[in-house]
Amino acid sequence: MHALSHGTTSKPTTIAVPPALSLPVIEAAFPRQLHPYWPKLQEETRAWLLEKRLMPAGKVEEYADGLCYTDLMAGYYTDAADEVLQAIADYSAWFFVWDDRHDRDIVHGRPDAWRRLKDHLHTALDRPADHLRHEDALVSGFADSVRRLYSFLPDTWNARFARHFHAVIEAYDREFRNRTEGTVPTVEEYLELRRLTFAHWIWTDLLEPSAGCELPDAVRKDPSYRKAALLSQEFAAWYNDLCSLPKELAGNEVHNLGISLIVHEGLSLEEAVADVRCRVEKCVTEFLDAEQEVLRFADGLDDGTVGGKERGAAVRSCLGNMRNWFSSVYWFHHESGRYMVDSWDDRSTPPYVNNEAAGEK
């Protein structure tokens, strides 16, 4: 299936979506949005990756734009102020680089290096200002991005973000152990772990600085709001599994919904792909129903008071960006060089990873 996409140029390009991965409902019912700051965002994040030494200059020049990390965020948080979007995009780019380091530490058997990094990230999350000059670029870059994210909303939001990301770090540690030991989690174990390694609640937390205010607990924990947020993230995580399955099979991965279904449910590869696709499609249809519930909830918050009007508007903003996540994630997987395994010289080694900085030859 072909559809117009923004891509990484100023003109839309035609992207061919493989039939097994095409979702006509996304292309028809979820029009793609792109923040007007995006061209500058791409330029600034590219410069930030260089400044923070997160990727070598040659890798940035050759791969950064094609990886489409800024496209993903610019298509998601479309209501954010430019400064907020820039902080989120830099943090997101850092997250991808961290994910690659985690992978390389596993592939090359560096448990001590991983443990040191994990511990440093935990402390940098709580005291980012103390780690801005850390010798490990991944730690100092993380500290810089977190420090900026902490500047937009009250300390209560910062504490929640930190609590959620501490859990993400520990989930990455569990994934490290599983991959090192060759342990494929059961489907239920995987789904629970995936909500953390995909950072469901981090991306949901970041809806709030994008909307310009912290939502009260009663709003965030409303069943309709929470359901819509979870569905948007589940869609993204499972669609990622669907698209990255060839890459992860080539890399002897153990963390993919399809792999858990094959190993623990006895499904064939074709059956596992069909199962994951069915779950992805169900997320879309259930979100469309949940979306209407959240809109009614937002209307109820707007009780004629100034505070009520602001809360209602913030919920609508967050919901609109949840909706954006569907199209942004969908096109990201067909534009980003991160998933173009067939074009790599070695299907198990991404060409954009920084091996030299990790001491590899």
Q: Catalytic site residues?
A: 95-96, 198, 338
Nearest Cα to Cα of residue 185 among 254, 90, 233: 254
CA dist 21 and 3 (Å) reads: 13
Beta bridge partners of 104: none
DSSP state, 177? H
Place of tokens 């996304």: 26
Q: Are 334 and 15 in contact (CB under 8 A)?
A: yes
Assigned token pair, 8: 């990484």
The whole-angstrom separation of Cα 21 and Cα 354 is 29
Cβ neighbourhood burial of 134 (10 Å; 0-12, 13-18, 19+): middle
Chain position carrying tokens 């954009």: 352
Q: What is the DSSP string of 204-265?
A: HHTHHHHHTSPPPHHHHT-HHHHHHHHHHHHHHHHHHHHHHHHHHHHTT----HHHHHHHHH
Helical spans, DSSP H, in 30-154? 38-51, 57-59, 65-67, 69-74, 82-107, 111-126, 137-149
What is d(CA 199, CA 97) in angstroms, rounded to the nearest whole number? 15
Residue 96 burial (CB < 10 Å; 0-12/13-18/19+)?
Answer: middle
Q: How far is CA 219 from CA 161, 208, 262, 296, in A?
A: 17, 12, 39, 13
List the helix and strand counts (H, then E) for the chain. Answer: 17, 2
